[in-house]
Amino acid sequence: MKKMNKIMAAVITVMTLATTTGANTALAEGTVKLSITDGIYDKAVKAKMESNASRLLTEINRASAANSGLSLGDINMDAEARTGLTSLWQNVHLTCDEPELVERCLTTKHGYQVRNLPFMMASVTDADKEPEYQEAVINFDKTGKIESFYLTISMNMYSQAMSNKHEITDVRRRMEILDYVEHFRTAYNQKDLKFMQQIFSDDALIITGHVIKTKPTEVQPADTKVVYRKQSKKEYLANLNNAFRANKYIKVNFDNVEISAHPTNKDVYGVTLHQTWNSSKYSDEGYVFMIWDFTDEDAPQIHVRTWQPEYLDKEAGKKLNPNDIFSLSDFVL
């Protein structure tokens, strides 16, 4: 009888251990740990960055698995960063499938940055769309507090723009420009009209091109060409706000970035982006060109924003002539 009791006790112990292990595994599922290898020498700030980022990534996984809102109150984040991520969450949900991330840290003007954070991104409003791979970046202030969370351009694009030193020799400025480009892109996904209002100067020139088909004549067959429409900042933002309201989701991607310095004004830069726009009601591909003015380092503004279609006739494979894409030389400042 005593032998039987010992056997039963052993079985119960094994079952208890299995149950406990399973519970711990379930609790640990979705947990993400970020480790920073180099780029920062202050161990205390480094530890805060790792802790804050790990908690944020873990919370993103929890909310995605539960299909719920984000609970960010206990994470050391700037209020604007919370608002931005919450707005993004209304349109897309993210999942990080990597339990451990090891990345290096970059020093920025205002603090630090960790890039290459891998996610699968799923549309909230269109359940039929397959999740797709997307990288993100977290910016920190100098104390390790999270300042912002953006969807990023690819690391290859980032490295190419940073290494093209014959155009811009100031590496810090390059990082600022790319940071704003990523914020600009994420603002579309967030439907963040407030950021758009801030980033465009009051006298900004907005130019939008669209393709029309010309009628055939006795001497010339039917053809396609781009016609351009000018808008003020007020008109552009009103139209953009209508697009935000009309579309369940908006997803903007930049898959090429070129940065050029103004030949005489050290504070002005031209940025050319190849943009893919996907929304619930409309999709297109084209080129965005922007003139950024960094005279006010803390509040740079866009003076010019143009959009041109990539294709004049997609079925025929007829593209816009690269020489016709807007650049700094097309504008007098």
pLDDT tens across 272-316, in order? 999 999 888 888 999 999 999 988 878 889 999 999 999 988 888
199 and 136 within one domain: no
Regarding whether 220 and 129 lie in a shared domain, the answer is no
pLDDT at 6 exceeding the cut of 70: no
Q: Are residues 47 and 109 in the same domain?
A: yes
Q: Does a structural domain hold residue 176?
A: no
- Select from 127, 152, 177 the last residue of a domain: 152
Would you place residue 17 in the very low, low, confident or very high pLDDT band (cuts 50, 70, 90)?
Answer: very low
Provide the CATH number for the domain around residue 111. 3.10.450
Query: According to the model, what pLDDT value does residue 119 have?
Result: 94
Query: Residue 21: its pLDDT value, please?
Result: 42
State the CATH number of the domain containing residue 244: 3.10.450.50
What are the contacts of 278-282 at 24+ separation with CB within 8 A?
Answer: 278/250, 278/251, 278/252, 278/253, 279/243, 279/247, 279/248, 279/249, 279/250, 279/251, 280/125, 280/126, 280/247, 280/248, 280/249, 281/246, 281/247, 282/247
Residue 75 lies in a domain: yes
pTM of the model: 0.72
Residue 18 binned pLDDT confidence (cut-offs 50, 70, 90): very low
Do 205 and 306 share a domain, yes or no? yes
Are 141 and 75 members of one domain? yes
Separation between Cα atoms, residue 147 and residue 77, nearest integer Å: 6
- In a domain? residue 60: yes
Q: Please write the tens of the pLDDT for every residue from 166-200.
A: 444 567 777 788 888 888 888 988 889 998 999 99
Domain assignment present for residue 71? The answer is: yes
- State pLDDT tens for residues 199-216: 999 999 999 988 887 766
Q: What percent of the chain has pLDDT over 70?
A: 85
Same domain membership, residue 235 and residue 130: no
Domain with 144 in it? 30-152
